[in-house]
Amino acid sequence: IQLTQSPSFLSASVGDRVTITCRASRAISSYLAWYQQKPGKAPKLLIYAASTLQSGVPSRFSGSGSGTEFTLTISSLQPEDFATYYCQQVNSYPPFGQGTRLEIK
């Protein structure tokens, strides 16, 4: 099962609402997670089970979807949100999407 993220690159401003999409080549129910990675740092788990927020993650992050299409939404971008985001399928390999780089406009 392949995961394809779109867009691969996104330019946005502080305060914007942004959505990143992850599409699976076959249905994966809700077995999807999202990670945030900043340059030079390890990834950070944001969301699992497609929509469950990991403890400590700000509520401006949300996830939705099931089957083959999933979205990560940031309701109001903050300066610290500019990073690369990866989706991950939990129960199949290879697990990660190719990433979406979110940069400041």
Given the complex with other proteins, which of 12 and 45 has the nearer CB atom? 45
Given the complex with other proteins, which of 13 and 80 has the nearer CB atom? 80
Residue 35, interface with other proteins (CB under 8 A)?
yes
SS3 sequence, the chain?
Answer: CCEEEECCEEEECCCCCEEEEEEECCCCCCCEEEEEECCCCCCEEEEECCCEECCCCCCCEEEEEECCEEEEEECCCCHHHCCEEEEEECCCCCCECCCEEEEEC
Residue 91, interface with other proteins (CB under 8 A)?
yes
Residue 42, interface with other proteins (CB under 8 A)?
yes
Given the complex with other proteins, which of 81 and 88 has the nearer CB atom? 88
Query: Which residues contact other proteins by CB under 8 A?
Result: 31, 33, 35, 37, 41-45, 48-49, 54, 86, 88, 90-91, 93-99
